């Protein structure tokens, strides 16, 4: 969805043109949103393999490990 919206917005060569196509970009988003009504939530899960359980720096992986531990993992 984002790619299609950005491609539509990329057609604009000025702010005025962008204002003229904003309705089309919103319709693209609406079309995808309507498609979610019957979607299986399990198909929207983001999966990523985490190779360590300790991270020295703050990152997405560290936040996931921390949340997993808080929830009893």
Percent of the chain with pLDDT over 70: 99
Contact 52, 68 (CB under 8 A): no
SS3 39: coil
pLDDT bucket at 6, cuts 50 / 70 / 90: very high
pLDDT above 90: residue 50 = no
Whole-number Å distance between alpha carbons of 69 and 44: 23
- Kindly give, in sequence order, each residue whose CB lies less than 8 Å from that of residue 62, ignoring residues fewer than 6 positions away: 55
pLDDT above 70: residue 73 = no
pLDDT above 70: residue 37 = yes
């Amino acid at each position: 969805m984002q790619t299609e919206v950005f491609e539509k917005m990329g057609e604009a060569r000025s702010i005025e043109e962008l204002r003229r196509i904003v309705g089309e970009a919103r319709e693209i988003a609406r079309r995808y949103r309507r498609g979610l009504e019957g979607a299986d939530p399990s198909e929207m899960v983001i999966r990523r393999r985490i190779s360590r359980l300790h991270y020295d720096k703050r990152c997405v992986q560290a936040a996931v490990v921390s949340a997993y531990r808080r929830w009893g993992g």
